[in-house]
Amino acid sequence: MFGLKSESILKLDEEYHELGDYAGKESRWCPGCGDNAILAATQKLCRDKQLAPEKTVFVSGIGCAARFPHYMGTYGFHGLHGRALPVAQGVKIRRPDLNVFVNMGDGDCCSIGTAHWIHAIRMNMKMVAMLHDNNIYGLTKNQASPTTPIGRNTATTPHGSLLKAMNPLTVTLGVTNVSFVAQVVEWIPDLLYKVIEQAFNHKGFAFVRILQRCPHFMPTLWDQLLANPDNLAVLDSENGVQLSDATAKVYKTRIAHDNSDLHAARQIASLEDKVPLGILYRDESVPTYDELKRPRRLHAPELAEAVLNKSFDRFGIFPNNAGPIGD
């Protein structure tokens, strides 16, 4: 408001938040779990952007990944299975001033939460949605999720899973109003950080699928990729992410890509022989629901109460011909 924001009035108020300020409880994820890498990258982003911890919310559903808010030193909401997105949308519509992040596992997002996922893409509200995709339900001990590879033996598919795994990228890219889709693996910290940063900078709903290791139940899942970094193809585009020299030396495969081209993004998302990494699609011009729906005046409890009372009075029965309260 006219540069009068309380933060800018007095420089005395300026506080610097260190990485530790964004740390919550000590992580109880297994050693070697990819969630730790995502947590570290996110905390780093918060520090580098100096997000006010009291203005930042992490929302999650149920699963290993859903423990994320506990380990952040910000506000958080550990909700119901599959319902992280609607909760996050509620937070955003009521408090547009907050930075909203959503952490979902592959079961959380792609199975029970699918309906919310589809509509969250279409509504395109400003938030970063991270899909921690380790291809398995870890918290419920080795159950098949929609992204579990075909033939995989799990607790729920003892003879091997029967269906081909779902591709969350092509699903997301198929929904109306999609505005930001990226894929990354958690074991390239440089790329992970930069993709999450771009997602945070995006104006609308930023969907980031993070391929993640589960050392306990899927210890060999990504061996092919770990052993042959050439199978990871970094998307090379002008406004995409630029790798640091150290990372670029290890990961040499590149695919030239224009991330404003939805059709090309869909083709790349469907690649079977290579795993594309980076920003597949970005469109800053898609309208966001939180802006379209932004209330023109602040929600005032007394106004809401007056309106509610008026409506209730139409149905109220008043004993002894007494009028409604306040009359």
Positions touching other proteins (CB under 8 A) are 1-7, 9-10, 12-13, 18-19, 27, 29, 31-34, 36-37, 39-41, 43-44, 186-190, 213, 215, 226, 244, 246-247, 250, 296-302, 316, 318-319, 322, 325
What's the CA gap between 133 and 225, in Å, rounded? 15
Q: What is the DSSP string of 26-44?
A: PP-SPTT-HHHHHHHHHHH
In the sheet that 254-256 helps form, which strands lie side by side, from edge to edge?
75-78, 56-60, 99-105, 127-133, 205-211, 180-185, 275-282, 232-236, 254-256
Q: How far is the CB of 2 from other proteins (least distance, A)?
A: 4
Q: How far is the CB of 52 from other proteins (least distance, A)?
A: 9
Could you tell me the smallest distance in angstroms from the CB atom of residue 134 to other proteins?
13
**The pairing of beta strand 205-211 with beta strand 127-133:** parallel
Task: Pick the closer one to other proteins by CB: 44 or 266.
Answer: 44
* CB nearer to other proteins: pick between 92 and 213: 213
Question: Of 12 and 256, which has the nearer Cβ to other proteins?
Answer: 12
| Minimum CB distance to other proteins, residue 18 (Å) | 8
99-105 vs 75-78, strand pairing mode: unpaired
Rounded to a whole number of angstroms, the minimum distance from the CB of residue 61 to other proteins is 23
Q: Which is nearer to other proteins, 36 or 267 (CB)?
A: 36
Judged by beta carbon, residue 220 or residue 285, the one nearer other proteins is: 220
Beta-sheet strands, E only, within 85-136: 99-105, 127-133
Minimum Å distance from CB 105 to other proteins? 17
Which of 116, 44, 92, 93 is CA-nearest to residue 293?
A: 93
- CB within 8 Å of 121: residues ≥ 6 apart: 172, 175, 176, 177, 178, 205, 207
- The single-letter code of the amino acid at 201 is N
Q: Which is nearer to other proteins, 284 or 305 (CB)?
A: 305
